[in-house]
Amino acid sequence: MTRLLPLRDAADLEPARADVLDAETMRRAGAIVDDVAARGFDAVREHAERLGDVAVGAPLVLDREDLLAALQALPDDDRQVLERTAARIRDFAVAQRSCLVPLETEVPGGRAGHVLAPVERAGCYAPGGRYPLPSSVLMTAVTARAAGVREVWVASPRPSPVTLAAAAVAGADGLLACGGAQAIAALAHGAGEVPACDVVVGPGNRYVTAAKKLVAGEVGIDMLAGPSELLVVADAAADPGVIAADLLGQAEHDPDARPVLVAVDAPGLLERVEAELAHQLAGLPTAEVARQALSRGAAVAVENLAAAVTVCDLLAPEHLQLLVADPGALTSRLKHFGGLFLGARSAEVFGDYGVGPNHVLPTGGAARHSGGLSVFTFLRVRTWLELDDVPGELLDDVARLAELEGLAAHRAAALRRAGG
C-alpha cells in the first residue's frame, strides 16, 4: 500500500527551490505588469474581469467606509475574534519596533548615527483563491500600521465579508478587489484611486510571486513566497495524534505544500503517525488537497538530535516545530528556519492565527538569508554624519583612498576641509 507520508532517507532530502517560477509564468505576469504600468486602472479592470476576480462592471475599489460597513455587518463574535487577533499582532509588532531606536555615536571629528522612518505607503496582498485569508490581511496591514506607515492599501481577489472586515480592523485605507499580477502592478505603479505604494508585501500564487519579482527594485517587497512548509522534529515521547494533526494543518493549505516529519530515535513512531493521518483524513473536509501535499512530503527516521539538526538546516523550513523532550536545548543548535515553535503546546497554527509573531515567513530555503515579515519590513534606517573637525589621519586616509581609486575630485573635495 502507498503511504500517505512517504518514507525517505535523510541523505536523499533536498531543500525546496526558493524560485520555482517558470518562463511562461514570468512572461504572462510581465505582460500584465507592463499593461497596468502603461494603461493604469483600465488595464487592472480588464484583467480582473477576464480572470474572474470581479464581475463585469462591479466595484473594484472599496473605500474606508465600505470596509467599515462590512465590519458593522459582521456578527459580534466574529468581529471580536478579528479585533483580539489584531491586538495580539499589533502588540508583538510594537514590541519589535521598540527594539530599534535612534543612534548617535562619536566618530573622528564629530558624530554619526541613524534615524528610523517608516515608508509612506504600503500595499498588502491577501490571497483569496482556495480559501479567504483574513488572517493575512491582519498580519500585513496591522504590522504596517504598527511600523507607522501613513497609508495602507489591501488587495485581495473576490474578498469575502470577513476579509473586508479584517481590512477595516487593520486600519486599511482601501481595498482593491482583485488579485494576481494585476493587483501587484496596481499597488506598485498606482492605478486610479489606488496610489503607488513604496512597499508591496504578502503571499500569493505564482503570478503574484512573479509580479513581485518583476516590480522589486521599483518598490520594496518582503519576499518571494512559495508553497507552505512545515518540518516537525519529534522524539519517542511525542503524541502521534498531535503530530498528524499538525502535518495535516499544513498540508491542507495547498497541494504543493511540504509537510516533513523527522523522528529522532523513536522506533514505531512513523507508523503510528501514518495510522493517525489515515484516521484524521477520513473526516477532513480538505482531505483531497491534504493528501496531495502529504504525497510531496517526507517521513524520515534519524538516530539522534545531531542528525535531526542537519536535516533542519539543510531544508531551512518556513515553519519548524520541535516536539521533543527539551526543545529549548535544541534551539541554539539550529541555524535556518522562518518561524520556530517549541514544545507540544506551541502548535504552528497558533502562529498562523495571530498569537503574536507574523505568519508571512520565508519559504523554499530562503530562511538561509531572510527573515519573516515584520515592522522592520516597513522601516528605513537612515544614517547621518556631522563633523566639527577633520583629524589629520582621517583626511590623509580619505585622500589616499581617493588616489587609489583614481577619483581626483573626491581627493580635492576632502582636502578642501583641511584645517577646518
Q: What is the pLDDT of residue 5?
A: 97
For the chain, give the percent of residues with pLDDT over 70. 99
Mean of the per-residue pLDDT values of the chain: 95
With bands split at pLDDT 50, 70 and 90, how would you rate the model's confidence at 419? confident
* Parallel/antiparallel/unpaired status of strands 379-387 and 110-118: antiparallel
pLDDT (mean) for 325-344? 95
| Residues 134 and 201 grouped into a single domain | yes
Which amino acid type is present at position 205?
N
22-78, pLDDT tens digit by residue?
999 999 999 999 999 999 999 999 999 999 999 999 999 999 999 999 999 999 999
CA distances (Å), 245 to each of 157, 269, 286, 302, 315, in order?
A: 29, 14, 13, 21, 21
Same domain, 214 and 259: no
Question: Are residues 170 and 266 both part of a single domain?
Answer: no
**Boundary residue ending a domain (188, 221, 254):** 221
Long-range pairs, 330-334, Cβ under 8 A, ≥24: 330/233, 330/305, 333/305, 333/309, 334/309
117 and 160 in a single domain? The answer is yes
- Annotated catalytic residue: which of 318, 336, 348, 359? 318
In terms of Cα–Cα distance, which of 324, 146, 336 is closest to 234?
A: 324
* Domain assignment of residue 1, yes or no: no
> Which amino acid does the sequence have at 374?
S
97 and 152 in a common domain: yes
pLDDT at residue 190 tops 60 = yes
Query: H or E segment at 187?
Result: helix 180-189
Average pLDDT over residues 187-198: 98
DSSP state at residue 289: H
Please name which of 214, 186, 153, 201 lies closest in space to residue 48, comparing C-alpha atoms.
186
| 226 exposure class (CB count in 10 Å sphere: 0-12, 13-18, 19+) | buried
Judge whether 372 lies within some domain. no
In a domain, 380, yes or no: no
pLDDT grade for 97, boundaries at 50, 70 and 90: very high
Q: Are residues 215 and 236 in the same domain?
A: no
Summarised one tens digit per residue, pLDDT across range 236-289 is 999 999 999 999 999 999 999 999 999 999 999 999 999 999 999 999 999 999
What are the pLDDT digits (tens) for 214-237? 999 999 999 998 899 999 999 999
Q: Flag whether 284 is in a domain.
A: yes
For residue 188, the model assigns a pLDDT of 98
**The one catalytic residue among 189, 319, 336, 359:** 319
Nearest CA to 414 among 109, 17, 98? 109
Q: With 60 as the cut, is the pLDDT of residue 420 above it?
A: no
Q: Which amino acid is at 227?
A: P
User: Are residues 214 and 231 both part of a single domain?
Assistant: no
Same domain, 73 and 92: yes
Tell me, what's the pLDDT at 286?
96
How confident is the model over 179-190, as a mean pLDDT? 98
Q: How far apart are CA 23 and CA 201, in angstroms?
A: 23
For the ranges 41-45, 60-64, 329-333, 412-416, the lowest mean pLDDT is seen at 329-333
Q: What is the CATH number of the domain that holds 217?
A: 3.40.50.1980
d(CA 200, CA 195): 12
Q: Active-site residue 319, yes or no? A: yes
Name which of 85-89, 225-229, 382-386 the model is least confident about.
Answer: 225-229
For residue 378, which of 43, 100, 168, 167 has the smallest C-alpha distance? 100
The per-residue b/e assignment along 244-266, b for 16 or more CB within 10 angstroms, e otherwise, is: bebbbbbbbbbbbbbbbbbbbeb
The DSSP code for 8 is: -
**What pLDDT digit, counting tens, does each position of 119-163 carry?**
999 999 999 877 788 999 999 999 999 999 999 999 999 999 999
Q: Rounded to an integer, what distance in angstroms lies between the CA atom of residue 236 and that of residue 268?
A: 9
Q: Is the pLDDT of residue 17 over 90?
A: no
The residue from 199, 221, 243 where one domain ends is 221
Do 144 and 281 sit in the same domain of this protein?
Answer: no
HSE-up of residue 75 (Cα within 13 Å, Cβ side): 3
Question: Could you tell me if residue 150 is inside a domain?
Answer: yes
388-399 pLDDT, tens digit per residue, is: 999 999 999 999
Give residue-wise pLDDT tens across range 68-86: 999 999 999 999 999 999 9
* Domain co-membership, 308 together with 213: no
Based on the fold, state whether residues 178 and 262 are members of the same structural domain. Answer: no
What cell was used for 165?
472586515
Task: Please check whether residue 370 lies inside any domain of the structure.
Answer: no
- Please, where are the H alpha helices in 60-175? 64-73, 76-97, 134-137, 143-147, 161-170
Say how far apart CA 156 and CA 194 lie, in whole Å.
Answer: 13
Residues 237 and 351 in one domain: yes
Task: Show the domain range for 408.
Answer: 390-420
Question: Is 80 exceeded by the pLDDT of residue 19?
Answer: no
Q: Name the domain boundary from 335, 357, 379.
A: 357
Domain count within the chain? 3
Clarify whether 318 is annotated catalytic: yes
User: In 10 A of CB 230, how many CB atoms?
Assistant: 26
Please indicate, yes or no, if residue 97 is contained in any of the structural domains: yes
287 located within any domain: yes
pLDDT of residue 409: 98
Rounded to whole angstroms, the Cα distance separating 138 from 360 reads: 11
